[in-house]
Amino acid sequence: MSVFADAGTRLLVQGITGREGSFHSRQMLEYGTRIVAGVTPGKGGQTFEGTVPIFNTVADAVADTGANTTVIYVPPMAAAAAIIEAADAGIPLIICITEGIPVMHMSRAMPFVRSRGVRLIGPNCPGLITPGTRTKVGIIPGNICSPGRVGLVSRSGTLTYEVVNHLTRSSIGQSTCVGIGGDPIIGTNFIDCLRAFQDDPATDAIVMIGEIGGTDEQSAAEFVRASVTKPVVGFIAGQTAPKGRRMGHAGAIISGASGTAEEKLAAFEAAGIGVMRRPVEVVELLRARL
């Protein structure tokens, strides 16, 4: 068991023939992920690496291969449309790696995704990986992960790798690692992942890695206090970032607070979350709780 991706994952890659898409599709295949189809409009009928059939549309790919998960590598200006296409085809899990999507595009895509009852992870995220079933959807390097019983959810990319690397080197394996992305509008938040890990019998403890800005970590801490019985440890990047650049008055008004590291760490502590002051501390904090 694990969350979101496992041995039952039948993956579709949108943008499989592009520079990023083809590179990471090879990496995913090499890791062991079952890629059943690719989509590149105009290249339907061809194959990728001689084995993966390419289709013109997501609907065609789903009808022919029964794909149940899709990962999107298309360029920023077309990425929100790709998300909508996947949702329209009824794919229950959509992971969007693309960075740089205009926020207005996402603001229009999200109500559509919700109306179809499907889950979006990202955009601007590294995707997810379940080492136990050799299932990788996205760009997290497979070689730093190892199978085990710690679930990890993060807003960052490389900082996630840093923490996972510490875990693996200390023989603490992972059930699933999920990168939810750092954009203002994302499909899956900390609470969605915490709930999934709480319900997952293969996960014993949870690591959450947040950043300054917004209030998602504070809400997540409240959720941990009320609904998570498994041990949770957390990190906030940007503890020493300058207050600096603000978005006029409205940015301060809308959140009612500025989303500083202090607020987030205080919320973590109030919820009984073990606070990591440095990435390396993840190991001792987890050992003390497992």
Partner 1 sequence: MNLHEYQARALLKAAGVPMLDGDVASTPTEAESIARRIGGTVVIKAQVHAGGRGKAGGVKLARNPSEAADEAAQILGMTIKGLDVHKVLVVPAAEIVTESYVGLIMDRETQRPVFMVSSAGGVDIEEVAAKTPEKIVRMPIDPTFGLYPHQALRLAFVLYRDFTQVKAAAKIMAQLYQAFVDNGASLAEINPLITGPDGRVLALDAKIVIDDNELFWRPDLGVLRDDSAELPSEAAARRANLSFIKLDGDVGCVVNGAGLAMATMDLVKFYGGEPANFLDIGGSSSPEKVIAALKIITADPHVKAILFNIFGGITRTDDVASGIVAATSQFKVDVPIVIRLTGTNEAEAFRILGGVGMTALSDMDEAVERVVRLAREAA
Helices and strands, number each (H, E), in the chain: 10, 14
Q: Are strands 135-138 and 127-130 parallel, antiparallel or unpaired?
A: antiparallel
Q: Which of positions 240-279 make contact with partner 1 (CB under 8 A)?
A: 240-242, 244-256, 277-279
Q: Does residue 287 belong to the site contacting partner 1 (CB under 8 A)?
A: no
Are 26 and 50 in contact by the 8 Å Cβ rule? The answer is no
Task: Work out whether 108 is an interface residue with partner 1 (CB under 8 A).
Answer: yes
Of 3-11, 31-39, 101-109, 225-233, the window that binds partner 1 (rule: CB under 8 A) is 101-109
Which residue in 111, 171, 201, 243 binds partner 1 (CB under 8 A)?
111
Nearer to partner 1, 53 or 76 (CB): 76
Catalytic residue among 24, 105, 166, 249: 249
Is 231 a binding residue for partner 1 by CB under 8 A? The answer is no
Query: Is 24 considered catalytic here?
Result: no
From residue 205, alpha-carbon distances to 20, 164, 165, 286 in Å are 33, 14, 17, 8
Between 132 and 157, CB nearer to partner 1: 157
Distance CA 154, CA 181 (A): 7
CA-CA distance, 185 to 168, in Å (whole number)?
31
Bond from prior residue into 123 cis (ω within 30 degrees of 0): yes
Could you say whether residue 120 binds partner 1 (CB under 8 A)? no
63 binds partner 1 (CB under 8 A): no
Buried b (16+ CB within 10 A) or exposed e, 214-228: bbbbbebbebbeeeb
Contact positions vs partner 1 (CB under 8 A): 76-77, 99-104, 106-108, 110-112, 126, 139-141, 144, 154-162, 165, 182, 184-185, 209, 211-212, 214-216, 235, 237-242, 244-256, 277-280
Residues recognised as catalytic: 249
